[in-house]
A = this chain, B = another copy of it.
Amino acid sequence: MPDTLSRPAPQTAPAPQTAAAREAALDALSALLGQRLSRKPADLDHHAHSEAWYPATPPDAVAWPETTEEVSRIVRICAAHGLPIVAWGTGTSLEAQALATEGGLTLDLSRMRAIRALHAEDMQVVVEPGITREELNAELRATGLFFPVDPGANASIGGMAATRASGTTTVRYGSMRDNVMGLEVVLADGRIIRTGSRAAKSAAGYDLTALMLGSEGTLGIITELTLRLHGQPEAITSAVCAFDSFEAAVETVMATIQMGLPMARIEFVDEDVARAFNAYARTDMPEKPHLLIEFHGSQAGVAEQAEAFGAIVAEMGGADFDWAASTEARNALWKMRHGAYPACLAWRPGSIGLVTDICVPISRLAEAVAETRADIRAEGLVGPILGHVGDGNFHAILLLERDNPDELARAKRVAGRMAERALAMGGTVTGEHGVGIGKRAYMQAEHGEGWAVMGALKAALDPRNLLNPGKLVPETPSPDARA
């Protein structure tokens, strides 16, 4: 398998992009946007890196559109001059999806953050892409509804859609795939299309919504989303419990799924994460693998579920079973979980994190985690493991000394073997972080000829490769991919 996590060699520019063409495009954009087009070093630098370890790659300029029509005009200008366009939400993606690795324009959608319509009676909301999930849920609080997808970061809804995000609540409420009903999208030629509808389901043709979700800005720019909302549960109960082995923890999860208990969240953290929490948050968790679980439902329902879950835990030898009855205790629990990344980084002071994720069938999860942990240790690395265990999805946070090429090389080997392991087990090289440039070299191995098909679809909708070039699809579809 290729050495994927290295930054790929610079690609050829997507279109014959001369300095003169670039300047002409930027002049036209500047005339359209005024101060909302910037070439200031501080703005370029802010959009040059995301939360992940990738080297900085500043764009040529940053634009802050305010309307769909403006996005369309920007795209037409860029298309006329062959200038690449990369959409930007909050910059929290983990595989460099929002980085302008081939230069061009970063389209920062943070000024498009309005709620365009609330359809409370249909449990739907229509939003612009720049609103973040926390902002949206704050706005929804009084309605009794909420948007459940929770990738951890306070990402923009548009970015979550573009990367088909999932997270702690996916085991119950699904991912963006399940909770986006429709989109407004600006295509590579500036046309504006609407996908999906406000109906709960449809059999009216190709599922363009699903095609756009996870396309990472390579097929179009999302300018509006119709989201499915859920009722705030009447009752919530959370618990944390320790296990002697992660096998016992995983077996507990499998038994819980097979019993049909509707977990709203079920998260695994290994003993290293527990140690990092203890150091960072001054908790006193046993330094063992833990499960963090939550049930949503009626008072009677969650009580029944908690009791059934407690019986499984006891059977599997779980201990220190601690129900967080109060809202405060529950918030503290999930704040801790969401703080795992900084906690782990702080655990090895000064380190950078190479975070990678895979997803496997749950029957293979214990094996996948065990082999990954053994591999991390064999390479002499420090790498806490945690994950959305109900989905068979886990992350390794490989803590690396900054500017240590040897550690980086070892970490890439570990991440590469994780991806191979996922495929050998019938899984996927990324459950939620996406492809970007980091997982692109594994796409052929995962999809075979299907990757060429993705290239053919990209070529059909963006023949000049203007939208987020260098990401996700093969650089140039082979001629036979289109026939």
Residue ranges of A at the interface with B (Cβ–Cβ < 8 Å): 119, 121-124, 163-166, 170, 174-175, 177-178, 187-189, 191-195, 197-208, 210-211, 213-215, 219, 230-231, 233-234, 254, 257-260, 297-298, 300-301, 304, 359-363, 390-393, 422, 426-435, 439, 442-443, 446-451, 453-454, 456-457, 459-461, 463, 472-473, 480, 482-483
Contact = CB atoms under 8 A, between A and B. Distances in A.
B449 A463 contact: no
A392 B207 contact: no
A447 B205 contact: yes
Contact of A426 (B121, B199, B435): B199
Contacts of A164: 202-203, 207
B392 A199 contact: yes
A208 B213 CA distance: 11
A118 B362 CA distance: 14
B194 A448 contact: yes
A204 B447 contact: yes
A200 B166 CA distance: 11
A170 B214 contact: no
Contacts of A448: 193-194
A460 B480 CA distance: 11
A201 B170 contact: yes
Contacts of A193: 447-450, 453
A55 B174 CA distance: 42
A430 B198 contact: no
Contact of A200 (B219, B393, B433): B393
Contact of A391 (B200, B361, B434, B447): B200
Contact of A362 (B200, B431, B433, B442): B200
Given A163-B203, A205-B435, A211-B207, A427 B195 contact: no
A483 B189 contact: yes
Contacts of A430: 202-204
Contact of A203 (B300, B435, B442, B463): B435
A203 B361 contact: no
Given A304-B298, A430-B204, A195 B450 contact: yes
A121 B205 contact: no
A20 B259 CA distance: 61
B199 A422 contact: yes
A193 to B, nearest CB: 4
A204 B434 CA distance: 5
5 contacts: A194-B447, A197-B446, A206-B219, A207-B210, A460-B482
Given A199-B393, A430-B203, A122 B460 contact: no
B450 A461 contact: no
Contacts of A189: 480, 483
A64 to B, nearest CB: 26
A205 B119 contact: no
B203 A211 contact: no
A361 B82 CA distance: 41
Given A204-B447, A207-B210, 6 more contacts: A193-B447, A203-B431, A204-B430, A205-B447, A231-B259, A460-B460
Nearest to A163: B203
Contacts of A463: 482-483
B460 A204 contact: no
Question: Would you list the 5 A-B pairs with minimal beta carbon distance, nearest first?
Answer: A210-B210, A460-B460, A202-B428, A198-B426, A199-B359
Contacts of A392: 199-200
Contacts of A422: 199
A473 to B, nearest CB: 8
Contacts of A163: 203
Contacts of A393: 199-201
A256 B300 CA distance: 17
Given A178-B178, A210-B211, A428 B461 contact: no
Contacts of A443: 204-205
Given A122-B362, A360-B199, A460-B482, A211 B206 contact: yes
A460 B456 contact: yes
A214 B207 contact: yes
Contacts of A298: 304
A237 to B, nearest CB: 15
Nearest to A299: B304
A205 B472 contact: yes
A427 B456 CA distance: 31
Nearest to A459: B460
A123 B122 CA distance: 31
